């Protein structure tokens, strides 16, 4: 990895967004993911190399630290924000075809549930790992998921629920979609969800954190 890619990766791991950001304190006044990504592109570094050798490995490190309880949600959100600053510079290359996307993920919080922090965190990491993301937001009914999947037939579905009372809506959505398309890949997550619940409702994958979701997508 070149020096500038290491700097981008470090900024994402530490949650350093740009020069103006006071976080983390030890990097105050230094360039962040925003400036270093711009510099890398200006120096001729390929957008695909920035994605594959800086952004994806860095968020992998963040996900692993989060899973090991070495860092917590606020730090992960700062890293995700830094990653999004870098991604903003790479997006034109996505559409030009210079960066090959891995596929499409449709994500949303199920009907009756208005919580989105976990969903947003998973979505940011999925996007940073090279997937196109269609975020339907919160309180998404089964029909909306089905309509979107019909428009994107090869997409993978990611469902989130934070309330035990909305687990029934998650089950209904999974069973409704699987009844029409048994081969549709569906992954689920959220505080009250478990592997046992995943098996019970017929979903394909459960993860208790964002890194697990990325690892599952990578393995498909």
Give me the pLDDT at residue 1, please: 62
DSSP the chain: --HHHHHHHHHHHHT--STT---SGGGTTS--HHHHHHHHHHTT--HHHHIIIIIHHHHHHHHHHHHTTSS-HHHHHHHHHHHHHHHHHHHHHHHHTSS----EEEEEEBTT----HHHHHHHHHHHHTT-EEEE--SSB-HHHHHHHHHHSTTPEEEEE--SGGGHHHHHHHHHHHHHH-TT--EEEE-TT--HHHHHHHT-SEE-SSHHHHHHHHHH-
Cα 105 to Cα 111: distance, rounded to the nearest angstrom: 18
Q: What percent of the chain has pLDDT over 90?
A: 64
pLDDT digits (tens, 9 = 90+) for 86-141: 988 988 887 777 777 789 999 999 999 998 878 887 887 788 788 999 999 999 99
Q: Which domains does the chain have, with CATH numbers?
A: 3-96 (1.10.1240.10), 104-219 (3.40.50.280)
Cα 212 to Cα 139: distance, rounded to the nearest angstrom: 24
Q: Tell me the whole-structure pTM to 2 decimals.
A: 0.73
pLDDT digits (tens, 9 = 90+) for 63-80: 888 878 899 888 988 998
pLDDT digits (tens, 9 = 90+) for 141-188: 999 999 999 999 999 999 999 899 999 999 999 999 999 999 999 999
């Amino acid at each position: 990895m070149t020096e500038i890619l290491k700097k981008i990766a470090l900024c994402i791991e530490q949650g350093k967004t740009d020069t103006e950001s006071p976080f983390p304190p030890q990097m105050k006044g230094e360039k962040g993911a925003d400036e270093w990504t711009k510099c890398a592109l200006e120096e001729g570094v390929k957008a695909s190399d920035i994605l594959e050798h800086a952004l994806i490995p860095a968020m992998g490190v963040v996900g692993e630290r989060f899973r090991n309880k070495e860092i917590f949600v606020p730090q992960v959100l700062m890293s995700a924000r830094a990653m999004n600053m870098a991604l903003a510079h790479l997006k034109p290359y996505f559409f030009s075809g210079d960066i090959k996307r891995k596929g499409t993920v449709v994500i949303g919080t199920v009907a009756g549930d208005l919580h989105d922090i976990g969903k947003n965190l998973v979505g940011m990491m999925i996007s940073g790992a090279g997937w196109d993301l269609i975020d339907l937001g919160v309180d998404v009914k089964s029909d909306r998921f089905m309509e979107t999947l019909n428009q994107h037939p090869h997409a993978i579905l990611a469902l989130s629920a934070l309330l035990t009372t909305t687990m029934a809506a998650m089950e209904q959505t999974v069973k409704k979609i699987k009844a029409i398309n048994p081969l549709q890949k569906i992954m689920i997550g959220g505080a009250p969800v478990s592997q046992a619940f995943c098996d019970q409702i017929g979903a394909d994958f459960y993860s208790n954190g964002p890194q697990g979701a990325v690892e599952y997508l990578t393995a498909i």
